[in-house]
Amino acid sequence: TVQACLFDLDGVIVDTAKYHYLAWRQLANQLGFDLTLEQNELLKGISRMESLEIVLGIGGVKLSEEEKLKFAAEKNAQYLEFCKQITPDDALPGVRDFLDELKADSIKTGLGSASKNAKTILTNLDMLNYFDTIVDGNRATKGKPDPQVFLMGAEDLSVAPEHCIVFEDAVAGIQAAKAGGMIGVGIGQASVLTEADYVMPGFDGVTVKDLFEKLK
Ligand code: BG6
Ligand code: MG
């Protein structure tokens, strides 16, 4: 039986993946190369500094530690600039209804995100109080695919991993869920999220009851 649902933020609750991409692409362009959407998949769910390493690797660019910190800060400033336009209307279709239904069914909810900006974004969405616990990039020390963010969330909620569903749009996030012994529901394409237990394009029209039925 499912006792808790843990949600990734970027790309699951809100489409900030596009803003992360734009900000990284801007940085890449500044350094003299381009970043494709396909390459951007590699950055989903990955911490800011690890993402920077991947981006620099793609461009074959070497930087000092000091420069890395400077560029990471610039990327984040640009990203936050994009995020200022996020309003409660930007929650992805069906997400709010799904969370309401979980509440009504007394199923616990948690956020498990690699982002250090998670609370800012939830505040812009007016969704901070939708979650019984929040584990973000300021709390977790290990990035996905390590299961730490989700295990911390399950522990906060006093629910055993096997009774948790994780909702994730990132390959690394599904890997984290599975490594933690949880059920991994992919948000996106089955051809990308091959390790997920079940994949759906989003929450639009999805009821908790129907989904749990499908996962049986
Ligand atoms: C994840 C995103 O949620 O957060 C990644 O999928 C991002 O793309 C990571 O790099 C870290 O985010 P932030 O906001 O701390 O730079
Ligand atoms: Mg994500």
Tell me the pLDDT of the chain averaged across its residues. Answer: 97
Q: Is 116 annotated as a binding residue?
A: yes
What Rg do the C-alpha atoms of the chain give, in angstroms? 17
Residue 146 three-state SS:
coil
Q: What is the pLDDT of residue 186?
A: 98
Quick one: three-class SS letters along 52-116? HHHHHHHHCCCCCHHHHHHHHHHHHHHHHHHHCCCCHHHECCCHHHHHHHHHHCCCEEEEECCCC
pLDDT for 33-80, tens place per residue?
Answer: 999 999 998 999 999 999 999 999 999 999 999 999 999 999 999 999
How close is the Cα of 29 to the center of ligand 2, in Å?
Answer: 23
Is 144 close to ligand 1, i.e. is its CB under 6 Å away? no
Interatomic CA distance for residues 31 and 60, integer angstroms:
10
CB-based contact 172:145 (threshold 8 Å) = yes
Region 23-29: mean pLDDT is 98
CA distance 56 to 85: 28
- Cβ within 8 Å of residue 8, ≥6 positions away: 45, 111, 112, 113, 166, 167, 168, 169, 170, 173, 187
Tens-place pLDDT, residues 96-125: 999 999 999 999 999 999 999 999 999 999
For residues 82-97, average pLDDT:
98
Q: By the 8 A CB rule, do 2 and 163 touch?
A: yes
pLDDT of residue 140: 95
Are 121 and 156 in contact, with CB atoms under 8 Å apart? no
CB-based contact 12:92 (threshold 8 Å) = yes
The span from the CA of 138 to the CA of 145, in Å, is 17
Could you say which of 10, 132, 136, 156 is catalytic? 10
Find out whether the beta carbon of 52 lies less than 6 Å from any atom of ligand 1. no
pLDDT grade, residue 213 (50/70/90)?
very high
Residue 24: per-residue pLDDT = 98
Section 146-167 average pLDDT? 98
Please indicate whether residue 75, judged by its CB atom, sits closer than 6 Å to ligand 1: no
Q: Which residues contact residue 102 at a Cβ distance below 8 angstroms, ignoring those fewer than 6 apart?
A: 5, 108, 109, 208
By alpha-carbon position, which residue is closest to atom 16 of ligand 1? 48
113: Cβ below 6 Å to ligand 1?
A: yes
